[in-house]
Amino acid sequence: MGQHELPPKTGVFYINLDRVPARRDFMDRQFAHAGLSAAIRFSAVDGQRTGALDQNGYVPGTGSRWGLKQSEIACFESHRAVWQAAVDQDLRAVAVFEDDVEMSSSAGRVVTNILNESSKFDFVKLDYSPRELRFGTLQTVGAVDVRPMLEMAPSAAAYVLSNAACRKLLAWSNAYSDHLDDFVSIPRADWRMFQCFPAVGVQVIWSQHQEQTQEDVKVSERSRDRKTNSGLDKGPTWFRLRRELLAAQRKLYWRMGGQRRLIRKGGFVGFIPCAGDLNV
């Protein structure tokens, strides 16, 4: 597999806990397969380490959820640290991966092409999501087919951000109470977000190859620790009712003709297609 040279002032990072070397090794193999040997490991915030979360931006009720688990806060803070590093290094654009992403052999070409067109997007999601979603009409970014994202998407395990997008996310996340994947895919007026079509990555848990993958890669180390995954507070009754009302309003819009209009204009409704060498 040939290696793809990154455009100047761009970077590729993958987030990995120091105590899970199996995932580091897995990602090194995936990047070699994709032709992205320039990828740099980024040490994840470890929610099990004393003091690691003493200073963070989690404030209950400031986002779409009230409570977050300790492991979810650590995940969010890990991504936030990458955004800050991209700004500190004055990178034009950065690709960010979690450490359980199975990659297509085409991922290197796709990532480098998108990185080279940082003025045309804020956020481009690269990976598959395990749910039917709605997208706008087909467009291109750096000769890569993409569709505008119209709603929050589960999974943000692989994505590309422009420098301006990193700055926006850092400002918006001074106080947060969202899952990381929800937060980066919230529809906003000043947020040009796209989904790569087809997806060039998929988390191992959604891949048909997961049976061939060792347990430390399939199952997140964060999810195994009861301390960092307990005590979830769903918030007061008024907050939960408001959340349900907003969700009902969104569903009603699509059911009352919004989805038909979208499809008529060339939009897409369904599961994100994947590159031919990925199996979900």
Strand partners, 146: 139, 196
User: What's the pTM?
Assistant: 0.91
Measured between alpha carbons, how far is 112 from 124 in angstroms, rounded to an integer?
A: 12
Per-residue pLDDT of the chain (280 residues; tens, 9 = 90+): 578 999 999 999 999 999 999 999 999 999 999 999 899 999 999 988 888 898 899 999 999 889 999 999 999 999 999 999 999 999 999 999 999 999 999 999 999 999 999 999 999 999 999 999 999 999 999 999 999 999 999 899 999 999 999 999 999 999 999 999 999 999 999 999 999 999 999 999 998 876 555 566 756 655 556 555 655 788 888 888 888 888 888 888 888 999 999 999 999 999 999 999 998 8
Q: Which CATH architecture has domain 10-270?
A: Alpha-Beta Complex (3.90)
The residue ranges of every structural domain in the chain are 10-270
* Pairing of the two strands 201-203 and 123-125: unpaired
Q: Looking at residue 100, what is its pLDDT?
A: 95
* Pairing of the two strands 158-162 and 93-97: antiparallel
Burial group, residue 177, by CB count within 10 angstroms (0-12, 13-18, 19+): buried
* Pairing of the two strands 133-135 and 268-270: antiparallel
Lookup: tokens for 121: 């997007």
